[in-house]
Structure 1
Amino acid sequence: MSGTALAGRAVIAGIGATEFSKDSGRSELRLACEAVLAALADAGLTPADVDGLVTFTADTSGEVHVARNTGMGELTFFSRVGYGGGAGCGTVQQAAMAVATGAAEVVVCYRAFNERSGERYGLGQAGRAMDTGADRAAYSWMTPYGLNTPAQWVAMFARRYMHEYGATGEDFGRVAVVARTHAAVNPAAWFHGRPITLADHQSSRWIAEPLRLLDCCQETDGGQALVIVSAERARDLPHPPAVILGAAQGSGEDQHMMTSYYRERISGIPEMGLVGRQLYAQSGLGPDAIDAAILYDHFTPLVLPQLEELGFCPVGEAKDFIADGHLELGGRLPSNTHGGQLGEAYLHGMNGIAEAVRLVRGTSVNQPENTDHVLVTAGTGVPTSGLILGAAR
C-alpha cells in the first residue's frame, strides 16, 4: 500500500493519559493500563474491542501483559517501533496501516514509563550495563571522551547551527518561553501556572554549553495512549475523529542515534526533511496548509532546523520566524499548545500527538482558530517519524 493510498483511511478516535508526575508511585505496567483504559473510554470502546497494540521497543510493558491486565481478548496485530522518541508518530503509522489493510480493526498505541523516578534517560550511557550490541559499539567512539548524555550530543549540533546561521542562546530560549507560556494555562501540565521569561532562560544554569537547564525537556512519570480505527467505524463513536492524512518514517543517510556527526552538514535534520516530503505527498498538502504544529522539543535547538526542514521558513531563518512570534497562538504556526515536552510532560512525544487530536477537535486549552490541519513530529537526531492530522469534514 502506498502512502497516498493510506491517507484518510484511519483516524485517531480516542486519547487517554495518566497524570504527569515526578514520582508516580506505581509500576510502568499500571501506568500503561490506566492510559489505555482512559483512551478506550474516550473513544467509546471497551478492551474487548481491541485486536491490535503498538508501542515502543523501549517500553517495558509488553503487549500480552497490557492485554491481560485490561481485559482484552485475542490480538491479530502487535508491533514495536525503535529509536526512542523517534518512534512516536511511527506507532500511529503502524496502527493506521494495520487498520487500512484489515490486519486489525481497533489498534491502541501506548507509551508508559517512570522516567523520573525510575530509569532516567537524561543520564545517557554513563553507568549503564555493558553489552555487545551494535549501539554500544557505536557509542564506544564517544563515551570514553566524555560525550555521554543526550544534552552533550545535542550541544554539538547546536554549536554548529549557531556558527553557521548566527543563532544565539536567546533564539533557543524563545522556544522555551513559548512552551512554558502555553503550559502555564494547561491544568495537565507539570509547569501549570509557571511561565518563564527570556531572562529566566538566560539565567538558568549550564547543562552542556550552549544548552542551559531551560533548553532541556523535563523528566516525567506517566502514560499516554491513542485509539486508531477506520474512518467508517469512527462515524459511530462519540468524538470527532482526527483523520490521519499523512504518516511517515525517515532515517537519513549516515544516520546515527543522536550522534550523526559524520555528515557533510550537521546543522540540519535530513531525516525530518525526508519525513516532511512524504507527509506532504501523502496528504496533498504543503506547509502553507498547515494550521498548527506539535514539534518535538526535547531540546530547544533542534526545534529550529525542524521548521526549516519542513518548509515553514528558509534554512537559517528559523530564529527570525520564532522571534517574530509565529509559534505563539496569534502567529502563523501556533506550536506545542499543550506546553510540549518542555512544559507539559516528556512522554516520548505521545502526549504531543494527543494534543494534536485536541487541536483538530477544537478542545485544546490553547485553541487557535482554524486548525483543520496539524503537523506532528517525533524525536529529532534519531530515525524519526511524523503525522499530518486533519479534521473530519
Structure 2
Amino acid sequence: MNDRTMRRSAAIAGLGYTPYYKRGQSLPQTLDELVGKSILAAVEDAGLSIRDVDGFAYFAGGFDTPMLMEMLGIPEVRFTASLTGTGGGSAGAVGLAAAAVHAGLAKTIVCVGGNQQGAQRFGAITSSYPLTPENAFFGTSGLVGPGHMFALLARRHMHLYGTTRDHFADVAMTIRNHALANPDAIMRTPLTRDAYFAAPLLADPHCLFDFCLETDCAVAVVVTSSERARDLRQRPVNILASAQGGSRDWGRSIYWMNMPDETFASSGHASVARDLYAAAGIGPSDVDTLQVYDHFSSQVIMQIEDYGFCAKGEGGPFVSSGAIGLGGNLPTNTDGGQLSAGYAWGMTHVREAVEQLRGTAVNQVPDAAVALVTGGPSVIPVSGLLLERAP
C-alpha cells in the first residue's frame, strides 16, 4: 500500500487503550470487552460518537464485527477488512484504514488490536496444531514456538556479523529503562547486565529478557480524513505512508525452510522499508523516533538494519552506542515496548507513536515530527507505517 497520492490524506484522530494487565489478570473481562473499551475510549478521545464509526480495519484475523456493532451500538458499517498474518499486519492495518478513507469507502474507521492469553501460552501454541509433513519436521527438531524459530535467525546473525549477546542485552536494558517512567508498563524495575546474563536461556541465544511480554490489553485508533481531523478534539497525526508485504526469499513461512543465506539473518522488512520511504518521500535520516516490533531483542537489531539506520551487520554496535536511548539519535520504543511495557500484537507501538507526535508521551522526544512504526516479523505480511505531526 504505497500509492504516493495517499500521502497525508488520512490521519489518526483518536486513541484509546485499556490498562496493561499481566497475562490472565484481566479476567473475568473478555477480550471483546477489552477491545470494546479501547474503541469507546478512542472515539471519545476524538470527540466523536460511537455512531460515527462506519468501518473497521483489523489484522491477525481481526475481531467479530457484528459482535462489536451489537455491543457498542454501531448502527452500520461501510467497510471492514483485515490483513493476513499476525503482528506483522499491525502497522499495515492503519494503512488499510487510510486507503479506505482515501478511496471514500468510509469516513470513520477504527483500527484495534487486543490480546488475552489467560488460557494458553503463545510459546506453546504450535503443540496444538494437527500433524502435517511440515510441523512433523520442525516439531521433532524442538521448534515448537516463535522463540525457537527466531533464535535460529539470531544465531545466524551472530555467526555472520559478530553480533553478541551483549548487543541483545543492550536492547533489553535500554527498552527497560524507557519503561521505568511509564505508569502503564508492566516491567518497572531496572534491568542490569548481571541480571540479564543470570536469566535462563529459553531458546539459545535468547534468554528470558530477550522475549516480549504476554499481556492482556487492547489499543484502538480512529482514522479519518486529514481535513476532517483538523476540526476534531485532538491534534491530528497524519498518516504519511504505509507499506506491507514481503519477499518470498525471506518469508517461506514462519519456519523459514530454504531461505537464502543473505536473507536468513534479517527481519524480512527490507522490501517494505524501500516501498515505505518511497511512498513518503523521505528517508531514515528524517525519522525522529522508532517504534519497532520487539517480540525478540535480536529482531530490533535486524529491523534497524533493514530500515537503513545502519549498514547490514552493524546493528549490534549501533544499539550498544546509545543511539536507541532517549538521548540518542534514534530513540526507540520509548514507552518500554513489547519487551517491558505491554504486548498487543504491535498496537502499543502505534499508541506510543501517536503520543510522541501529539507531544504527550511520558518520555517525550523533543520536537518529534516523524515516527516510524513497524509490524512483525512473523509471517508475511510484515508492515511499516510513517506518521507525521500535523502542522
Bin for the TM-score computed over the shorter chain: over 0.9
User: Could you tell me the percent identity over the aligned residues?
Assistant: 37
Matched, 1:233 2:228: yes
Shift, 1:34, TM fit? 0.5
Whole-angstrom CA distance in 1 between matches of 2:282 and 2:129: 46
For residue 296 of structure 2, what is the amino acid of its counterpart? Answer: F
2:206 to 193, 207, 211: 211
Whole-angstrom CA distance in 2 between matches of 1:166 and 1:285: 31
Report what 1:142 is aligned to.
Answer: 138
Matched, 1:334 2:336: no
Matched, 1:300 2:302: no
Secondary structure in structure 2 of the residue aligned to 1:141: helix
- Name whichever of 83-92 and 259-268 sits farther off: 259-268
| Structure 1 gap ranges (5+) | none
Report what 1:114 is aligned to.
Answer: 116
TM-superposition CA deviations, 1:245-283 (whole Å, max 9, x none): 110102212423322241212444363111111111111
Please show how residues 120-131 of structure 1 align to structure 2 within 5 Å: 120-126=121-127, 128-130=128-130
TM-superposition CA deviations, 1:57-83 (whole Å, max 9, x none): 444x30111111111111000011221
Secondary structure in structure 2 of the residue aligned to 1:271: coil
For residue 389 of structure 1, what is the amino acid of its counterpart? Answer: L
CA contact (8 A) 1:268 1:309 kept: no
Secondary structure in structure 2 of the residue aligned to 1:330: coil
- Name whichever of 19-28 and 248-257 sits farther off: 248-257
Whole-angstrom CA distance in 1 between matches of 2:30 and 2:386: 33
1:182 to 173, 178, 181: 178
Matched, 1:280 2:277: yes
Shift, 1:351, TM fit? 0.8
TM-superposition CA deviations, 1:177-235 (whole Å, max 9, x none): 0111011110011113x121122111111101111000000101111111100001101
CA contact (8 A) 1:20 1:221 kept: yes
CA contact (8 A) 2:240 2:388 kept: yes
Whole-angstrom CA distance in 2 between matches of 1:374 and 1:261: 33
Whole-angstrom CA distance in 2 between matches of 1:257 and 1:237: 42
Whole-angstrom CA distance in 2 between matches of 1:167 and 1:286: 25
Report what 2:240 is aligned to.
Answer: 245
Secondary structure in structure 1 of the residue aligned to 2:275: helix
CA contact (8 A) 1:376 1:388 kept: yes
Whole-angstrom CA distance in 2 between matches of 1:152 and 1:374: 31
Report what 2:360 is aligned to.
Answer: 363
Report what 1:158 is aligned to.
Answer: 154
Whole-angstrom CA distance in 1 between matches of 2:162 and 2:186: 33
Whole-angstrom CA distance in 2 between matches of 1:129 and 1:58: 17
Report what 2:97 is aligned to.
Answer: 95
CA contact (8 A) 2:302 2:315 kept: yes
For residue 83 of structure 1, what is the amino acid of its counterpart? Answer: G
Report what 1:32 is aligned to.
Answer: 35
CA contact (8 A) 2:252 2:259 kept: no
CA contact (8 A) 1:15 1:43 kept: yes
Report what 1:200 is aligned to.
Answer: 195
Secondary structure in structure 2 of the residue aligned to 1:55: strand
Whole-angstrom CA distance in 2 between matches of 1:270 and 1:153: 12
CA contact (8 A) 1:245 1:389 kept: yes
Report what 2:164 is aligned to.
Answer: 168
Report what 2:17 is aligned to.
Answer: 17
Shift, 1:137, TM fit? 5.4
Whole-angstrom CA distance in 1 between matches of 2:135 and 2:223: 36
1:386 to 366, 384, 387: 384
Please show how residues 46-57 of structure 1 align to structure 2 within 5 Å: 46-57=49-60
CA contact (8 A) 1:260 1:381 kept: no
CA contact (8 A) 1:250 1:271 kept: no
| Structure 2 gap ranges (5+) | none
Shift, 1:43, TM fit? 0.9
2:64 to 24, 40, 62: 62
CA contact (8 A) 1:114 1:221 kept: yes
TM-score (norm 2): 0.95
Matched, 1:220 2:223: no
For residue 243 of structure 2, what is the amino acid of its counterpart? Answer: A
Q: 1:51 to 1:259 in 2, by over 3 A?
A: same
Secondary structure in structure 2 of the residue aligned to 1:326: coil
What is the CA RMSD across the aligned residues, in angstroms? Answer: 1.5
Q: 1:137 to 1:386 in 2, by over 3 A?
A: farther
CA contact (8 A) 1:83 1:257 kept: no
Secondary structure in structure 1 of the residue aligned to 2:137: coil
Alignment coverage as a number of residue pairs? 385
Whole-angstrom CA distance in 1 between matches of 2:70 and 2:332: 37
TM-superposition CA deviations, 1:96-135 (whole Å, max 9, x none): 00100000000001112212x1332121311x1527xxxx
TM-superposition CA deviations, 1:329-388 (whole Å, max 9, x none): 110100000100001101101011010001111111000112111111011142200100
Whole-angstrom CA distance in 2 between matches of 1:269 and 1:147: 19
CA contact (8 A) 1:21 1:190 kept: yes
CA contact (8 A) 1:11 1:234 kept: yes
- Name whichever of 223-232 and 377-386 sits farther off: 377-386
Secondary structure in structure 1 of the residue aligned to 2:71: helix
Q: 1:3 to 1:270 in 2, by over 3 A?
A: farther
Whole-angstrom CA distance in 2 between matches of 1:269 and 1:129: 27
1:86 to 64, 85, 88: 88
Shift, 1:2, TM fit? 5.5
